[in-house]
Structure 1
């Protein structure tokens, strides 16, 4: 029998091992026993603040930032159209052979063609972070190059051929 299994002479035994499991050694010394929250009154006031009371830096954007945002949205819509074009192109093309490995590779290539525009768009946004010099120019050039490379040629050629 351990000493914990025996009731103390003055009262019932209280097992506090569950409470110990919720704390790390040194939590009390660092003052991290409870999270520190902002003043509830200040939080409710800032949540109810009118937009005109907010600092001007949070609301206003420079013309260059607005142009970059508009260009990014326009390219986002273009890349969505490219994905839709590749989906329709995948329905037009048929794999010419009967071997299993070739069929699997063909299907995988169609899948990559469908998600390629979305991956290029995400890469262009990710690879031009906030602090980069000439970020807008680099982003727009990357998005333009991707739009030219990722054109759904099978759908375009089918469409041009059907017009004749």
Structure 2
């Protein structure tokens, strides 16, 4: 599987985030992977999230650079306003070609971020676990090719 070609294009996002206390956040939006170079894509993530059952929707937006090298994907922040372009996470494709598993754990202050991708034709899921003294939640995102 050529990962660059797999991700390229537009994806519909739905997801949930659940903290240990049981409070849930739901989200919907889009992911757009657009070419930056022959081996990198710009991911623009945007949408709305609702925290709890009665909260008003909150908009979100973020950009990341996905750098592809064979069976590896390096994900960098792409934050032009702050100038943050550091490595966020690194993944490698498993031997079956359906999972992107982490090569590293991202540390933000004392909180750790681990994630994996489950790839399946025109659909994929991203599962992220965030743990530490400030944060403790799981984020599940489902993406369907548009």
**TM-score, normalised on structure 1?**
0.22
Structure possessing the higher radius of gyration over alpha carbons: 1
**TM-score, normalised on structure 2?**
0.24
The structure with the largest helix share of the pair is 1
The structure with the largest strand share of the pair is 2
